[in-house]
Structure 1
Amino acid sequence: MNMINRALRWLFFAIIIKPIVKLVIGLRYQNKPILPEDGPALIIANHNSHLDTMVLISLLPLKVLHKVQPVAAADYFLKNKFIAWFALNIIGILPIERQSERQTRSPVEQCAEALQQGKILIFFPEGSRGQPETMSELKYGVVKLAEKCPQVPLYPIYMHGLGKSLPKGDALLVPFFCDVVFSEPMHFQPNLFDQVKARFEQMQSSVKLPKWD
């Protein structure tokens, strides 16, 4: 990423995204934030909305923005030239091919290489966006990646509310609170898949919502 695009990315998140997340959506932390201060690191989160990536990036300090790469589907974000430029240079995605017949490189290898370069990856273990406020079955990709990079910490984050603000298939943003739950970092272990699943279940059940929500 050249210096101009890096500056544009910084301005986009500093001037537009962080204020929108803070003032329009509104974050309610359910516990003390636990976030990586530097890379390499792997942020794993549930996935209900296109806003998920923006909110997760906004949680991080701007000083590490140049290291942050959301893992995203190449077939979705690179199909249009303008969207591709914006996704690659402003959002900073790491594009991977989801369809095996198009893959020239393993998605796990791509992610592992980025982590070896000191990146902070944002990874959605469900694979794709699910129904609003409902977690889909986790896929094994996160375990394969953690096994490839056992020294890299995983930071689980659970978000509630963004599926109502901008659910899958909608283009209109509806102001709504987003409740965020943080968890202690994890590292690769033989039973990591079950541990990650249990950790998300714990975080989901810990969300304290107002009676009117």
Structure 2
Amino acid sequence: MKYINLALRWLFFAVIIKPIVKIVIGLRYQNEPILPQGGPAVLIANHNSHLDTMVLISLLPLKILHKVQPVAAADYFLKNKFMAWFALNIIGILPIERQGKDKSVNPIEQCAKALDSGKILIFFPEGSRGEPEKMTDLKYGVVKLAERCPQVPFYPIYMHGLGKTLPKGDALFVPFFCDVVFSEPVNYDKSGSAFYEEVKNRFATLQDSIKLPKWD
């Protein structure tokens, strides 16, 4: 069953998602892609749409698809049996209990364990999805994860347009060009506050590079 699910996941992204991202959405790179070719690594990106995860996975080579795990809310994606199966086996999520109901489970340790096994995590530092094309303050979880895994590179990626293609609360898909811009990876060094400011500044620079309003 494991290999069948892996094959289904490969087909889903190769046959459906990558063509949609390339042709329907019209993904445009603003600079040369800066992406990991293996794990452990963390992709950190702004979050406006359910399409964010699909686009980020589509950026990576199919040969490393089995290593990719988006960090996602368990209470949302495991609501029913079909959604849970699809989220776990096709999207490949790492389910995190964001409500903190189970105090015995540490979300940062869950992520760290995945990184220790060589995974490439997709992590949204803002937490939940925000308003279309508006970036909110970063949560401190990204710092805690970097402190726990200081040897792991964090790759900032900024996306613009997906919040209009499929914004939070909408089910209607509207084709809209998406621009994506990449940054050199960031590693934890010296202190959590320094890492936080560096990541925040990287996102501000990426946002400005595609001529969007400055991040407040």
With normalisation by structure 2, the TM-score equals 0.95
Following superposition, the deviation at residue 72 of structure 1 comes to: 0.0
What is the CA deviation profile of residues 71-124 of structure 1, one whole-angstrom value per residue up to 9, with x for unaligned ones? Answer: 000000001110000000000000000012334311000000000000000000
Distance 1:102 1:74 in 2: 12
SS of aligned partner of 1:48: coil
**Corresponding residue for residue 31 of structure 2:** 31
SS of aligned partner of 2:145: helix
Q: Is the 8 A contact 1:30 1:208 kept in 2?
A: no
Is 1:204 aligned to 2:203, yes or no?
Answer: no
**Corresponding residue for residue 89 of structure 1:** 89
Is 1:120 aligned to 2:120, yes or no?
Answer: yes
Distance 2:115 2:42 in 1: 8
Distance 1:104 1:175 in 2: 43
Distance 2:115 2:86 in 1: 22
**CA RMSD, Structure 1 to Structure 2 (Å):** 1.0
Distance 2:99 2:20 in 1: 34
Distance 1:81 1:30 in 2: 39
Distance 2:85 2:100 in 1: 24
**Corresponding residue for residue 102 of structure 1:** 102
**Corresponding residue for residue 60 of structure 2:** 60
**Corresponding residue for residue 159 of structure 1:** 159
Q: Give identity over the alignment, percent.
A: 78
Distance 1:149 1:115 in 2: 8
Which residue, 192, 198, 203 being the options, matches 1:195?
Answer: 198
**Corresponding residue for residue 169 of structure 1:** 169
Distance 2:148 2:72 in 1: 19
With normalisation by structure 1, the TM-score equals 0.96
Following superposition, the deviation at residue 52 of structure 1 comes to: 0.1
**Corresponding residue for residue 141 of structure 1:** 141
**Corresponding residue for residue 5 of structure 2:** 5
Distance 2:104 2:97 in 1: 8
**Corresponding residue for residue 69 of structure 1:** 69
What is the CA deviation profile of residues 154-194 of structure 1, one whole-angstrom value per residue up to 9, with x for unaligned ones? Answer: 00000000000000000011000000010001100211001
Distance 1:141 1:106 in 2: 11
Is 1:182 aligned to 2:185, yes or no?
Answer: no
Distance 1:64 1:30 in 2: 23
Distance 2:199 2:208 in 1: 14
SS of aligned partner of 2:6: helix
Following superposition, the deviation at residue 138 of structure 1 comes to: 0.3
**Corresponding residue for residue 22 of structure 2:** 22
Q: Is the 8 A contact 1:71 1:94 kept in 2?
A: yes
